[in-house]
Amino acid sequence: MKHFLDILPTPVADLRQMIDHARAMKDARKDRPKGMCDDETPLEGRMVALIFEKPSTRTRVSFDVGARQMGAQTMVLSGADMQLGHGETIADTARVLSRYVDLIMIRTFEEQTLVEMAENATVPVINGLTNRTHPCQIMADIMTFEEHRGPIKGRKVVWSGDGNNVFASFAQASAQFGFDLVFTGPKPLDPEPEIMEAARAVGANIEIIRDPMAAVEGADLVVTDTWVSMHDPASARERRHNQLRGYQVNAELMGRAKPDALFMHCLPAHRDDEATSEVMDGPASVIFDEAENRLHAQKAVMRWCLGA
């Protein structure tokens, strides 16, 4: 069973193949109406369930459209409306869904929910974001960097802000794809030590540099994300703003990176908090290519899971 639960446990050759495959599928349907199927429909006859226990725009729409372009049928389910949200176990839900559908994508809170779903499903399970990681996002981000700047191997990526779930998947990717990663942010918002240790144990080069100006020196890519994630308490907002203000990605910070450095943000953004609109809409920004590439990258992930 090929589940896509995280970047680290997925073989590096498979990750590379998925990204190349995504590029090829994107090129093959250039200028085609978005609702039209691909030339090849390898998911014909398959049923895909997309479960959301948290809000989503990109993940929801890109998985749905991507699956349909490959010939599958889809259903989008809200966790709150399922028995899952009313006491049915994850294990029972996984066993039942496996009798109806061929593939399950789930966005949830605790990583344990994803793990239990995968352990009990008899069909592949894809991680559509947990409190801990967001691997589909990073597949799209690597694809986007390489489209614009060529191989990411050996490049310097700097993350400025909260050491959250998206950063965690970047940390895992830095080991798998061989780029150098710098985290710059306040100590209380450091990434989970266990995430860092696991990535370093398989060769990741990740540094923590507190001074954002020093951190971005020579960066090929500067990345940030919201200061308050969906799983963070709303009450954390003011404290987070005070802690993170100095880590905003603005023109001054981008000016310290390489002249051709790119800027990324997984979106949704709180404009002029974690990044200024000047940067988000400026020449370095590839945020909408990133969003588009969720579609192409996840099509490759779904095909990999189903061996199709």
Instruction: Output the known binding site.
Output: 56-59, 83, 107, 134-137, 165, 225, 229-230, 266-267, 294
**Catalytic status, residue 176:** no
Per-residue binding string, ligand NVA, 129-148, x by CB under 6 A, is: x-------------------
Closest C-alpha among 63, 218, 78, 82 to residue 154: 218
**Catalytic status, residue 95:** no
295: left (phi over 0), alpha (psi -120 to 50) or beta: alpha
CB 119 within 8 A of CB 111: no
Report the nearest approach of ligand CP to the CB of residue 52 (Å): 9
**Catalytic status, residue 243:** no
Q: Which stretch binds ligand NVA (CB under 6 A): 19-27, 96-104, 162-170, 211-219?
A: 162-170
**Catalytic status, residue 137:** yes
Report the nearest approach of ligand NVA to the CB of residue 89 (Å): 25
Q: Which stretch binds ligand CP (CB under 6 A): 114-122, 143-151, 187-195, 261-269?
A: 261-269
Close Cβ partners of 71 (under 8 Å, ≥ 6 residues apart): 37, 38, 41, 42, 43, 44, 45, 46
**Catalytic status, residue 37:** no
Question: Which pair of tokens denotes residue 15?
Answer: 């990750």
| 220 lies in the binding site for ligand NVA (CB under 6 A) | no
Closest C-alpha among 270, 275, 299, 307 to residue 136: 299
Could you tell me how many residues of this chain bind ligand CP (CB under 6 A)? 9
Closest C-alpha among 103, 99, 96, 95 to residue 119: 95
Q: Which stretch binds ligand CP (CB under 6 A): 30-38, 180-188, 189-197, 263-271?
A: 263-271
CA-CA distance, 158 to 181, in Å (whole number)? Answer: 6
Binding residue (CB under 6 A) for ligand NVA from 41, 73, 229, 250: 229
**Ranges within 242-301 binding ligand NVA (CB under 6 A):** 266
**Catalytic status, residue 86:** no
Question: Which pair of tokens denotes residue 87?
Answer: 């006491």
CB 270 within 8 A of CB 226: yes
Task: Give the active site residues.
Answer: 107, 134, 137, 225, 266, 294
Residues near ligand NVA, by CB under 6 A: 129, 164-166, 225-226, 229-230, 266
